[in-house]
Amino acid sequence: MTITPNAGLPNGGDRWFLPDELSKNLEDKYPGLSRDEAAEVLSAGWEFMRCLVPEFTSWERYLAMTRLLTINLVAEFRASAGDIAFGDLVCGYDIEELLGVVFGDTPVREEMSREYRGMLLLTAAKSGMSRHARLLSRLTEALANSPADYFRIRDCDFGSRFTFAGAMACNEVSGGWLSERENQILAEVAVGMYDAIAFHKHQAEGEICNVFAYSDPSLRPSVYRMYREALWALDTTWSRSVAKRCVVNFARYGGGPVHMLMRRYRFVENGLVVGLPESEGTVAAASQNVKLWHHLAPGSSQAGETEVAGSYYRTVMAGERKWLFPGLANLLGQSNAARCPSCRPPEAHRAEETAGFGGMRLCNGCRSEWDAYLRDFPSRLKEVLETPCPSPRSVEMFAMRKFDVRDT
């Protein structure tokens, strides 16, 4: 089905293409959105699925997975869509039912249920209302605690391992589920590549989830190259496994092509340039949810100790076994007493900023620890693969030299 929205809309009258099973829900699903907004959200969800999970054997599971990702897209700019603390009926769908369709009796059903619900809660906190402020404040601190903690939380926020497992389920894979270490490695590759390219988009949004907000931004080219080589090492090693071919696609497309193929990333509007620096116009547009972006305004987490925010946070923590991946409650609940006194919280550096990352501003000493962690990725990769990969020394050399486009 082709849907042509009003030509005067900010999207410039793009035509959306959806299978009939999705387009028929425009009128009775997604309360609070106009028909045109719902059409754009559904189309973005469909485009995400077609990019990140291009192959499938079960149409029923594929549709359910698309609906789950679309609900999370809504939560990116309508926090109420992620308020599963008030029930599983979201955007007109029962998410427990959708999760059941995707994962059925697979061994990852419960794990992926917690992963998905955690993704919704974290996404809603970032697009939040006042009741999310304390959760957002704790999330902001937890992300900056260490690179390892960052990548595990970002894995959930980005939907990495959830989509890995969903891709396998949609292809009716009966075995070969990723180990914890394989999930960690592939998620780091996917997140690292995506964060490198989305750097300026995330600055326009005041995003707290970008690894280069906590490490040296000048490392982006060399780190991207390192992760890209790791992607091809994984792809080559896993190419004869049906199960693992499914999951590599997520990193392959999310790490680059999705920014050109999906309309929400402004590739055409930016003159066919990927990663164009943010401007006052893109910040203003993000504040109005153009292209489904959302701007996290300065001060969003400063009301974290209000009674409403505290009550909501306690509700989320009480439901951790259903809503959060194992260990996330502990990460969120850590005291900030051990925080480096030289690192600055958002309220200390964002008061006069209209753009820029919204998270903690790390001191040079802490930032150098993150840089070292990124450079040490090859040693983590070697724990999973026995294939040749860049040595820590070679990656360090990549990071220290000025990036030259002749290297690509």
Output the pLDDT for position 80: 75
Q: Say how far apart CA 269 and CA 177 lie, in whole Å.
A: 40
User: Is 96 among the domain residues?
Assistant: yes
Residue 127 and residue 76 in contact, taking contact as beta carbons nearer than 8 Å:
yes
Mean per-residue pLDDT for 232-240? 91
Q: Nearest Cα to 134, choosing from 322, 333, 327?
A: 333
pLDDT of 148 > 70? The answer is: yes
Output the pLDDT for position 399: 40
Q: Say how far apart CA 15 and CA 146 lie, in whole Å.
A: 43
Q: What are phi and psi of 93, to 5 degrees?
A: -120, 150
User: Is 339 among the domain residues?
Assistant: no
pLDDT of 403 > 70? The answer is: no
Residue numbers of the domain that contains 45: 2-323+344-407
Q: Say how far apart CA 73 and CA 379 lie, in whole Å.
A: 35
Output the pLDDT for position 101: 98
Residue 94 β-bridge partners: 89
Say what percent of the chain tops pLDDT 70. 86
User: Is 335 among the domain residues?
Assistant: no
Mean per-residue pLDDT for 377-385? 89
Mean per-residue pLDDT for 66-76? 93
Output the pLDDT for position 354: 59
User: Is 244 among the domain residues?
Assistant: yes
User: Is 336 among the domain residues?
Assistant: no
Q: Nearest Cα to 254, choosing from 159, 190, 163?
A: 190
Secondary structure (DSSP) of 335-355: -GGGS-TTSB-HHHHSTT-SS
Residues 315, 122, 161, CA angle at the centre, nearest 5°?
120
User: Is 202 among the domain residues?
Assistant: yes
Q: Say how far apart CA 319 and CA 153 lie, in whole Å.
A: 17
Pull the structure tokens for residue 231: 């992607």
Q: What is the pTM of this model?
A: 0.90
Alpha carbon 398 to chain centroid, angstroms:
26
User: Is 352 among the domain residues?
Assistant: yes
Single-letter residue type at 397: M
User: Is 158 among the domain residues?
Assistant: yes
The structural domain count of the chain equals 1
More confident residue, 327 or 241: 327
More confident residue, 352 or 106: 106
Single-letter residue type at 112: M
More confident residue, 286 or 298: 286
